[in-house]
Chain A
């Protein structure tokens, strides 16, 4: 019994979130021998964001075929069901403590769970209008692209007929096509940057196929309408992203969709006291995807926003294996060695993981990162200390595409004095 007389459940492994990351982590933890696993999911169904991503293009790496989001999710849901791993639906985790006590709430009330290990798999959410500082009233008819996607594809709600989209992230591009196919007219997609962060195939198949203009270096500078949106002003921006006077153009619309970036959903991690990374918005992790609270691991979009779900599944499987190893050893054996710090420089925005215990590495470790701009014909170089140990030529690097380098344990152990590994772009 706890201090407030609630009974305390015990589970070996608790996974917070039943989306692609949580499901893949559960399947892999079971494969690695964890018997008692509980997934906690706040929605009424497992599958997370994939359930509303009804378009195709998922799973090319994992399954060698192009699935829709629900089909990709179904493969993992089936595995979890076949393994009889319970998924507690309609349940929200409100607190995780340093000693891995989890507080959650459902219609049945509050419950407490003591977990041997925890995997954070809460995903991310969209940057809302409030974070964009667009002047104008706050009328109805403004949605984040993902909210509109859920309303249309799951709840069957009508959104609007005359649409403007701000931001050319992939969800915005996908929704431009989706709304067009449902009979709406999308007059423009405005993008503040001089390039789109969306995938090329989405620009071609969601915009160009339907003649929807992509206005690069443009943004919405005013929202018109008091009760319901009636139109927006779109303006060109200069190289400092400031609106250029005289370029204002009025677009009548009944719907404005926002596709302006995704933010890892880490309120629980921060409240637990986990050290966070300023660039990714996710926890700092080591080679096992362990946060700096022993036994608490992170994977998927809560760790850093991914471009492809295939990489989420792969990363989550690693978190599942790491949690299994932690549970069977009772502690982080790796932590007895000093950590090597990974540094991102020269166009590389961040790396995941952020530090490595060489003795805890598998034979190979995939380090993922993103770049800060569009580049052509650059080398991705890896330095151990001041010595360059590898470089790989890349014809194209783009902020929207996740990149990776693979480090080998053998190589790192042959440089025992390495304190820092730097990953950077070079000419």
Chain B
């Protein structure tokens, strides 16, 4: 993002740091390719602030229906955090899934889900009902 320096006014983003319970109020200034963080009280805050503004990521978790399992839904997640702007694309892929038991914890259900580079995996063993 924002790789080129331009002449527009720097953009300032305010964030709550979530790296620890202190919850510092960060001000991240984006001026072209220069990103600077103030308000942090430790180096983790600076890393978090920069990441949140330039390329925020999230782990997406959900459930999908399972036929013939001991329970009706299988929990799933992205194997790694994915770009925040892809969350709804991942959810669309999740909503198209329907599984049949048995399901195995860690099983890859969709590889490279929604082009994020991360797999969608099952997070629980679901044995067949009978």
Rounded to whole Å, the gap between the CB of B65 and the closest CB of chain A is 6
The answer to whether residues A55 and B21 also contact, given A71-B123, A154-B71, A181-B91 and a CB cut-off of 8 A, is: no
Partner of A54, one of B63, B70, B87: B63
B59 at the A/B interface (Cβ < 8 Å)? yes
Closest to A152 in B: B63
Partner of B105, one of A74, A154, A156, A203: A74
**Distance A151 CA – B76 CA, assembled complex (angstroms):** 16
Closest to B65 in A: A156
B16 at the A/B interface (Cβ < 8 Å)? yes
Contact with B along A48-91 (1 / 0, CB 8 A): 00010011100000000011111100100000000000000000
The answer to whether residues A70 and B123 also contact, given A200-B18, A200-B21, A395-B22 and a CB cut-off of 8 A, is: yes
**Distance A416 CA – B23 CA, assembled complex (angstroms):** 41
Contact between chains at A156 and B59 (CB < 8 Å): no
Residue among A74, A154, A181 facing the most chain B CB atoms (10 A cut-off)? A181
With a CB–CB cut-off of 8 A, which chain B residues contact A12? Answer: none
Residue among B18, B62, B73, B75 facing the most chain A CB atoms (10 A cut-off)? B75
Rounded to whole Å, the gap between the CB of B34 and the closest CB of chain A is 24
With a CB–CB cut-off of 8 A, which chain A residues contact B61? Answer: 54-56, 68
With a CB–CB cut-off of 8 A, which chain B residues contact A203? Answer: 16
With a CB–CB cut-off of 8 A, which chain A residues contact B23? Answer: 200, 396
Closest to B88 in A: A181
Contact between chains at A396 and B73 (CB < 8 Å): no
Contact between chains at B16 and A51 (CB < 8 Å): no
Contact with B along A343-386 (1 / 0, CB 8 A): 00000000000000000000000000000000000000000000
Residue among B70, B77, B91 facing the most chain A CB atoms (10 A cut-off)? B77
Contact with A along B40-84 (1 / 0, CB 8 A): 010000000000000000111111010000111101110000001
Contact between chains at B123 and A54 (CB < 8 Å): yes
Contact between chains at A45 and B71 (CB < 8 Å): yes
**Distance A321 CA – B77 CA, assembled complex (angstroms):** 35
The answer to whether residues A71 and B124 also contact, given A155-B72, A156-B73, A205-B58 and a CB cut-off of 8 A, is: yes
B31 at the A/B interface (Cβ < 8 Å)? no
**Distance A365 CA – B21 CA, assembled complex (angstroms):** 23
**Distance A74 CA – B41 CA, assembled complex (angstroms):** 37
Contact between chains at A68 and B73 (CB < 8 Å): no
**Distance A199 CA – B21 CA, assembled complex (angstroms):** 8
Partner of B123, one of A45, A68, A396: A68
Residues of chain A at the chain B interface (Cβ within 8 Å): 44-45, 51, 54-56, 66-71, 74, 152-156, 178, 181-182, 199-201, 203-205, 208-209, 395-396, 398, 401
